[in-house]
Amino acid sequence: MNLENLNDLEYRKLPYESFSSLKYLLDSPDAFLYQKEHPFQGSDSTLLGTAVHHMLQGNSHLVVYSTVDKRKKTEYAEFLRDFEEKNTSKEAIIVPCSFREKLDAIQENASKNPYVKEVLEGVCSKFLK
């Protein structure tokens, strides 16, 4: 198996411990076990980071803005069903509409920065080979 060409979902399906989980062993075996039983579910910051990652890779189609408040259970369940029907990629994510301004600003600034453009072009060409 070639580990260099795995996408994130394939990597996470491997039956091995990740570096991120093994670092808890440095604290204690109990910390490691606690992390295994209570995995990190993400936060707004990690969701924003994932959205930025998709956008910088040219995968902005994987970022869907929520148009429904999660507290409206019935409407949100319908929104989720619609999202799952339209987005067959397991990497697609839903972000709050409040992220739009931040993501637009990040994308605009990245596209104007010659250093960022050079780095992204180098990274993308490496993976496209």
Q: For residue range 108-127, what is the model confidence (pLDDT) as tens digits? A: 998 888 888 888 777 655 54
Would residue 7 count as lying in a domain?
no
- The sign of the dihedral angle between the CA atoms of 65, 10, 78, 42 is negative
Would residue 34 count as lying in a domain?
no
CA distances from 42 to 19, 46, 47, 69 (A): 17, 6, 7, 19
Would residue 71 count as lying in a domain?
yes
Distance between CA atoms of residues 76 and 69, nearest Å? 7
Q: What is the span of the domain harbouring residue 75?
A: 44-128
Look up residue 95 and give its amino acid. Answer: V
Would residue 111 count as lying in a domain?
yes
Domain count, the chain: 1
3-51 pLDDT per residue, tens? 777 777 787 788 888 888 889 999 999 999 999 898 888 899 999 999 9
Would residue 12 count as lying in a domain?
no
Would residue 2 count as lying in a domain?
no
pTM over cut 0.85: no
